[in-house]
Every structure is written in C-alpha cells, then in structure tokens.
DNA sequence: TCCTTCGGACTCTCAAACCC
DNA sequence: GGTTTGAGAGTCCGAAGGAC
C-alpha cells in the first residue's frame, strides 16, 4: 500500500491504528442496531440503523391494500384468514403504467460529482483527533453482523474504496462513505482475503440488502474517483481503462477473482454482493433439500416454524399454485364444457374409427398422438396461515397415479401438531370427491400424508374427480364420463383437508383441490 | 389488548434515455 | 441491443385513536 502524500499517509496511519483498536476492543455487536462511533471523548451515539430492505408482495389483496397492511402471495392471504376475510381476498387490480412520459436528462453523475467535490475539499481539514469505536461493534476476526461503521472526521476522498488493513495486516477493509437519516458516517466494509469473499454477515438477507445498497453508492463513488482523476497512490486501481497501473503498490485482491482483478474495488464489492447472493442461493437450495428430503422430525416446533418461513422457493411453489386456483371457479365452468365436448368428440371419433373398414391401417400410419392436457384444476391450498403454514412440496399435479398406490403430499407443518392433538378419529376429506376418509384410509406418516386412490365403492362415480380404473378394460372415468381407452391420466393432483375436530382452531383447516391431466396416447391404442 | 385508519416512507416496475 | 435512470404506482410501517 502506498500513499501519495504525507497528509494521506498520516490519515491512513490513523485508520490503521483505529482498525487495530477495533480489533482489540470491539466485542460482538448486537444484531439489528448499529451505532455510529463518535470521536474520542464523546459518547457513542445510536446511528440510524442499517435497515434491512423491506420486502413487499407484487400485488396485495384488496383487503390488505385497503388497510395498508402487509399482505402475502397466498390467496386468501394470512391477514384475510386471520380476520375472516377469505371470501373477499382477491388480488387488487393494478393500474396500467402511463406511457409516453418524457424524461429529463439524467442527473445522477452530476450529483455524485458534486459530492465528490465536497469530499475532496474537506481533505484539507482532516482532523488529527483520534477516533474511537465503541465496544459494541463487532470484533475483527469474527463474523460481524454488519459492516463496521465508524464515524470519522473529514476524510480524504482518496481513501474511499481503498483497501485498508490493520497494523498487523490481519484484516482488510474498504472505507465507504455512508449517509443515513441525515447523518454522514463511514463504513468499514470487511474484505476477506484469498479465496474468501467479504465476510458474510450471519443475517444474510439484511446484510445482502445493505451490501446491495452500498454497492451502488460505492461503485459510483469509486467510479467518480477514477474519473475525476484524483486516484493517486491510494486507490487500488489496476484497470487499464483508467491508465493507472500501480499494481505493485496495492493490497491483494481475492485470487479467486483474478479474471476480474482489474476491476479492483469495484470487483471486491461485486464479490461481496455475489457472495451474498450465492449464500442466499445456498439457503434456498438448502431449504429445498429440506423440503425434498424427509424433514427432520426432531426439530422442535419453533425451529420448524422458522424453517418454514424461510423457505421461499417452496413457498413460492405453493403460492404460485395458490394463485392459480383463485381463478378456478371461473375456469372451471368454461373448461367443464370444453372437456365434455372433447370427451364427446373423441368418443365419437373412436367409435367412428372402429366402424370404418381399413381404419386400423390408417391409424397406424397417420396417427398423430394428441395430448389433451387439461390443466383444469390446479391444486391449491386455501388457508395456510402464519400459524399453519402447510407446504406441499410434492408437485402433486404431476404425480403419476397409474403407477402409484399412494399420492404422497408432504406436509411441512408441525404447527398442526402443536395446535391440535391428533385424534384417533381425525378425518381427512377429499373435498372434491365429497367423501371422507378415516385415518386408516389416509394414513398420516410423520410429515407425509398419503392418500389412497379411490375405489368405486367409496364414491358416486358421477361426482368423482378421481379416475376410476376398470380392472379388465382399463378405462378411466372422469367426472362421470368414461374416457376413451386411449386416454390415460398422466398426472393427477389432489389434496385434502385435514379436518380437525378442534373447532377452536379453524385456521388449521386446510382446503385443497384436485387436478387432473389426461393425455391421449394415440388412436392406435384404441384398437 | 386488539383493531382500524392513514400519512408518508419505502419498494418495485418498466419505459425512456443513454451507452457501447 | 443492453444498461441505467428515475418517476409512476403500489406496498406497508408505525403512530394514533377507538372499541371492547
């Protein structure tokens, strides 16, 4: 590391000294709150917290919208379930965005340049005061929850973006100017060496958001530093674009990112972000693994609850399905008529083919397998709530019924177990089927519910959603109509309502729907 | 304590403007 | 064609007040 001027050198020494003090004195931070260290002799002050970015749904339901309250992707949403507004819980209608709005010239770069000028002019008044970091700030060498903010006297802009290290070179940081709530301060963003990316805070989402926010500012800042030509010896710039080559003077950049090395600080920040993103992805993958595998039953309810709420991928899966079903009632009527028509037509065709001489040859030569995929009734789960976040991770609408004895639907919720004691006579109901099944018929094993295929004896076929297989001729019935033999149910989804006898926990009642796709294997099968 | 209301801070989206 | 910017549109935090 080299410094270009004595003044900056002094400042740099101060920073290094400060970093070492941080290393020596700072215990672990308290999550969630950050504070701006003050100068020596004054009390540490609470800083504007490095807020986590607020997540919001794409489309709140009409009720939540009206109440200005948090909504979720489920329909009905948790809030509507809580307040019994499930009937009216529908997506609000979004206005179409205006088009043709003229935009003025971009302003951002100008603003940043102004800021840079401000920083640069303040260089001459660098205070020699020793600044301290309150002891609540995280310890170097440990994973800090947040980047370390330190409040400094005026600092040369030349230091921004520079990798700083403690005197023992144990830790490296990038100094980043920050402003929040009208208060300016600086953040020391820890940068790990070698193949490691920046130190990843434990609270990924929050920190990722922070980093993302920082990233933009930093990039602009560094970029403007470069462009304004003030990047003397302090900057780690190696990018030929800026015609500054001081590689030998600078601290290392993570080896892993050699190909991006020339991006210097920008790349470090980029790494920080990508690292966070990767880790987040890992979290997602891990969550999905948990969903796919046999989720450990050993987890206590609280941790499971927490896990469930942290499974965005699976939740999305479910939520997507939930959204689909909100249109079910509408779709159903239309599709019913279409389906009936198709079935009728195919029956007629099938009959015609049978009765026409030479058709067998025709069929084998000209047959074009037709696929009728009636995504007719997407599975849905009406009422997962905060208290009862049932997640069905098995894509039930793709389960091959013909080959399976059971349709396993994985239930990730232990809330059910928490809230309701399992009763011997607990019932599960296949709502579409209109039939109830005892626990014996729908055995509940750990976190899996298994639903046996229907049998004709249990139901009135005319109301059956479920395909009914005839042992001898292998045909299927669908909503009371016999499907032509060439039709094979290729996928089936259905779900059920764990009907809980405990009336005091109506939110535990989950209602799901069935879906069925049918495909034609081609007319040659009809012979 | 719970619920409703609502101002306004915050976030998201995407067309226009800009860049390569 | 890809990226950046920024304003429109929407979400929802959090304070205040009312009902029970």
**pLDDT tens digits, A369-411:** 222 222 223 233 333 333 332 322 222 222 222 222 223 333 3
| pLDDT score recorded for residue A33 | 26
**pLDDT tens digits, A40-97:** 222 233 333 355 777 888 888 888 888 888 888 888 888 888 888 887 888 888 888 7
Is residue A212 located within the same domain as residue A340? Answer: no
Is residue A209 located within the same domain as residue A357? Answer: no
Is residue A159 located within the same domain as residue A278? Answer: yes
Measured CA A106 to C1' B18 distance, in angstroms? 9
Is residue A268 located within the same domain as residue A332? Answer: no
Is residue A358 located within the same domain as residue A272? Answer: no
Is residue A276 located within the same domain as residue A324? Answer: no
**pLDDT tens digits, A252-301:** 233 333 333 333 333 333 333 333 333 333 333 333 333 333 333 333 33
User: Which one of A235, A251, A286 terminates a domain?
Assistant: A286
Per the domain annotation, does A97 fall within a domain?
Answer: no
Nearest nucleotide over every DNA/RNA strand to the A91 CA, judged by C1': C10
Per the domain annotation, does A326 fall within a domain?
Answer: yes
Is residue A149 located within the same domain as residue A43? Answer: yes
Is residue A179 located within the same domain as residue A235? Answer: yes
Per the domain annotation, does A276 fall within a domain?
Answer: yes
Distance CA A471, CA A351 (A): 22
Residues in chain A: 527
Per the domain annotation, does A64 fall within a domain?
Answer: no
Closest residue to C5 (CA to C1') is: A106
Measured CA A56 to C1' B10 distance, in angstroms? 10
Q: Which of A23, A45, A24 is nearest to A36 (CA)?
A: A45
Is residue A225 located within the same domain as residue A354? Answer: no
Per the domain annotation, does A452 fall within a domain?
Answer: yes
Q: Please answer whether residues A175 and A146 qualify as being in contact, where contact means their C-beta atoms are separated by less than 8 angstroms.
A: no
Per the domain annotation, does A86 fall within a domain?
Answer: no
For chain A, how many structural domains are there in total?
2
Per the domain annotation, does A92 fall within a domain?
Answer: no
Instruction: Considering any atom of strand C, list protein residues whose CB lies within 7 Å.
Output: A 54-60, 64-65, 68-71, 92-95, 97-98, 101, 103-104, 106-109, 216, 220
Measured CA A455 to C1' C14 distance, in angstroms? 55
| pLDDT score recorded for residue A51 | 58
Is residue A33 located within the same domain as residue A149? Answer: yes
Is the C-beta of residue A95 closer than 7 Å to nucleic acid chain B?
Answer: no
CA–centroid distance for A482 within its chain: 43
| Banded pLDDT at A107 (limits 50, 70, 90) | low
Measured CA A72 to C1' B9 distance, in angstroms? 20
Is the C-beta of residue A69 closer than 7 Å to nucleic acid chain B?
Answer: yes
Q: Which of A514, A342, A520, A339 is nearest to A432 (CA)?
A: A514
Is residue A200 located within the same domain as residue A317? Answer: no
**pLDDT tens digits, A183-192:** 333 444 444 3
Summarize the confidence of residues A27-46 as an average pLDDT: 28
pTM to 2 decimals? 0.25
Distance CA A136, CA A45 (A): 11
Is residue A269 located within the same domain as residue A345? Answer: no
Closest residue to B3 (CA to C1') is: A83
Nucleotides of B under 7 A from a protein CB: 3-8, 10-18
Which DSSP string corresponds to A312-333?
HHHHHHHHHHHHHHTTHHHHHH
Q: Please answer whether residues A322 and A74 qualify as being in contact, where contact means their C-beta atoms are separated by less than 8 angstroms.
A: yes
Q: Note the maximum CA span of chain A.
A: 104
Residues of the domain holding A413? 313-526
Per the domain annotation, does A303 fall within a domain?
Answer: no
């Amino acid at each position: 590391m080299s410094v270009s001027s004595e003044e900056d050198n002094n400042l740099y020494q101060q920073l290094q000294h400060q970093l070492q003090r941080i290393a020596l004195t700072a215990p672990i931070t308290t999550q969630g709150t950050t504070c701006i260290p003050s100068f020596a002799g004054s009390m540490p002050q609470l800083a504007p917290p490095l807020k986590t970015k607020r997540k919001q749904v794409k489309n709140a339901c009409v009720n939540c919208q009206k109440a200005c309250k948090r909504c979720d992707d489920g329909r009905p949403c948790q809030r509507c379930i809580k307040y019994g507004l499930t009937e009216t819980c529908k997506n609000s209608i979004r206005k179409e965005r205006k088009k043709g709005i003229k935009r003025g010239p971009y302003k951002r770069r100008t603003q940043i340049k102004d800021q840079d000028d401000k920083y640069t002019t303040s260089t001459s008044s660098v205070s020699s005061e020793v600044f301290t970091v309150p002891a609540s700030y995280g310890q170097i060498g440990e994973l800090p929850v947040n980047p370390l903010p330190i409040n400094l006297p005026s600092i040369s802009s030349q230091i921004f973006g520079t990798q700083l290290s403690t005197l023992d070179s144990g830790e490296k940081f990038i100094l980043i100017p920050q402003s929040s709530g009208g208060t300016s301060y600086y953040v020391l963003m820890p940068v790990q060496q070698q193949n490691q990316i920046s130190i990843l805070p434990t609270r990924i989402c929050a920190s990722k958001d922070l980093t993302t926010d920082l990233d933009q500012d930093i990039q602009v800042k560094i970029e403007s530093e470069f462009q304004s030509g003030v990047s003397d010896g302090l900057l780690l710039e190696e990018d030929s674009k800026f015609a500054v080559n001081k590689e030998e003077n600078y601290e290392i950049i993570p080896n892993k990112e050699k190909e991006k090395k020339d991006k210097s600080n920008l790349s470090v920040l980029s790494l920080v972000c990508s690292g966070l993103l990767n880790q987040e992805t890992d979290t997602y993958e891990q969550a999905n693994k948990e969903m796919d595998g046999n989720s450990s039953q050993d987890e206590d309810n609280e941790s499971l609850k927490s896990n469930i709420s942290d499974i965005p991928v699976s939740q999305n899966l479910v939520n997507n399905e939930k959204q689909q079903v909100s249109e079910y009632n509408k779709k159903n009527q239309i599709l019913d008529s279409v389906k009936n028509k198709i079935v009728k037509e195919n029956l007629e065709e099938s009959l015609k083919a049978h009765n026409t001489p030479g058709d067998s040859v025709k069929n084998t030569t000209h047959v074009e397998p037709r696929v009728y995929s009636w995504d007719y009734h997407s599975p849905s789960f009406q009422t997962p709530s905060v208290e009862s976040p049932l997640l069905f991770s098995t894509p039930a609408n793709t389960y091959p019924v013909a080959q399976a004895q059971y349709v396993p639907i994985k239930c990730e919720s232990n809330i059910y177990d928490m809230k309701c004691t399992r009763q011997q006579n607990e019932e599960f109901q296949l709502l579409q089927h209109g039939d109830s099944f005892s626990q014996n018929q729908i055995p509940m094993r750990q976190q899996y519910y298994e639903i046996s295929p229907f049998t004709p004896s249990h139901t009135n076929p005319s109301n059956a959603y479920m395909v009914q297989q005839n042992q001898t001729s292998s045909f299927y019935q669908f909503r009371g109509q016999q499907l032509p033999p060439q039709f094979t149910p290729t996928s089936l989804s259905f779900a059920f309502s764990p009907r809980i006898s405990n009336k005091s926990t109506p939110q535990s009642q989950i209602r799901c729907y069935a879906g069925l796709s049918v495909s034609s294997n081609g007319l040659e099968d009809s012979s």
